[in-house]
Structure 1
Amino acid sequence: MNTLQQRFGNIDIYLFDQLLKGRFDDCRTVIDIGCGGGRNLLYFMRNGYQVFGIDPNPEAIAAVRALAAETQNTTAAENFVIAAAEAMPFADATFDLAICSAVLHFAGNEAHFKAMLQSAWRVLKPGGYFFARLASDIGIEDAVLPLGNRRFLLPDGSERFLVNEAMLMDYTTRLGGQLFEPLKTTNVQNLRCMTTWCLQKI
């Protein structure tokens, strides 16, 4: 049976939303920055995209390489490499789509955040799309405890680098990008908030 789970895997629901809208139909090269085991890549692997991924965890890279082999397509194991988001081993303007889901909020400080973001932007082609999901304080500003360097203790007990709307809009301008979707923030019972940040490189 060709179920949604089999076709798309455990894909981020907001990335799935963009696929439903046909946003990435004309993209051919995709990089998942912090790909983990490939949860957001199954659809792309099965539908003729050139798929790449980086992750600092060797076990994650082994898992995503195994997933690529299972799909029985032309995605090479060598497309997935052990690397940090701020030091990707790819040439400038290589990809039509860069996915960065639940990665940027692990930045140690704003300089680290900026380095990861600039690295992602560097490998993206002009006209390409940047899809990011990251923790924010939008809607829970009074419930997070500042720890310094824009890192906060969240009500769920986790520590994250948090952005806000003004910060995301400032970086959008500084990067030379434009929103292709409004910022969307999901509040998980006032324990944490995740914001979807969707840019196109002008």
Structure 2
Amino acid sequence: MNNLQALFGNIDIYLFDQLLKCTYNQCHKILDVGCGGGRNIVYFLQQRHDVYGIDPNPDAIVAVRELSVMLTGKDTASNFSVGSAETMPFEANTFDLVICSAVLHFAQSKQHFEAMLTGIWQVLKPGGYLFARLASNIGIESLVQPLGNNRYLLPDGSERFLVSEQDLMHYTQKLNGYLHEPIKTTNVQNLRCMTTWCLQKL
């Protein structure tokens, strides 16, 4: 294993970009919503940040607890629990950074999406950061097929809740957030698009 992989793991490349820019240098208490096996928190665990995670998959929580112990040498099992964004098991204004990568596009409706987003936003401290990656229709508006409830069939055959750039700007304003990075979208051969949404809570 090379040094970069050992230090950062299989981190989302756009989250890695924020680390290189030192955006989160003052973020000490971190939550990964939909943490899976912990691929986006390897660096934070090794740097001894206070890291938490939730995921609806119990097997993922077992895996991330094992990863945390391996990387920190501490019993941090209680920091990771089965849970979801819309039923957040934390107090308001708790975290300096919330990571939410490839989660929000599993919303079943606009109401579900907003409940997830509200749950995430509430646990952020004022001045805290949200790093979100989610599917969007940006650049493939004419290629996706509406299924109802803001869900769409993508050209790659998957079904996702999709947002537009207008939606993201609307929610940024509604949350009283600050877009500290321009919205960036990766188009994968017109099969799907993933958008990076980086906010700071004012």
TM bin, normalised by shorter chain, reads: over 0.9
| 1:46 and 1:73 in contact (8 A); partners too | no
Letter paired with 2:86? E
Shift of 1:74: 4.0
Residue 61 (1) aligns with residue 61 (2): yes
Displaced runs of 4 or more, over 4 A: none
Residue 41 (1) aligns with residue 78 (2): no
- For residues 43-87 of structure 1, the C-alpha deviation after alignment (integer angstroms, 9 at most, x for no partner) is 000002100000010000000001001103446110001011110
TM-score normalised by length of structure 1: 0.98
| 2:48 and 2:72 in contact (8 A); partners too | no
Q: Indicate the SS of the match to 1:143.
A: coil
| Counterpart in the other structure of 2:98 | 98
Q: Indicate the SS of the match to 2:142.
A: helix
Shift of 1:181: 0.2
| Counterpart in the other structure of 2:171 | 171
Gaps spanning 5+ residues in structure 2: where? none
Count of aligned pairs between the two proteins: 202
Gaps spanning 5+ residues in structure 1: where? none
2-structure distance, mates of 1:6, 1:175: 36
2-structure distance, mates of 1:72, 1:164: 39
1-structure distance, mates of 2:73, 2:20: 22
Equivalences for 1:113-128 in 2 at 5 Å? 113-128=113-128
Q: Indicate the SS of the match to 1:63.
A: helix
TM-score normalised by length of structure 2: 0.98
| Counterpart in the other structure of 2:110 | 110
Letter paired with 1:119? G
Equivalences for 1:141-156 in 2 at 5 Å? 141-156=141-156
Q: Indicate the SS of the match to 2:63.
A: helix
1-structure distance, mates of 2:92, 2:107: 22
Residue 191 (1) aligns with residue 184 (2): no
Letter paired with 2:106? F
1-structure distance, mates of 2:198, 2:95: 15
Shift of 1:2: 5.6
Q: Closer, same or farther in 2 for the Cα pair 1:29/1:73, shift >3 Å? A: farther
Shift of 1:41: 0.4
Equivalences for 1:18-29 in 2 at 5 Å? 18-29=18-29
Work out the percentage of aligned pairs sharing the same amino acid: 65
Letter paired with 2:170? D
Residue 8 (1) aligns with residue 16 (2): no
1-structure distance, mates of 2:74, 2:188: 38
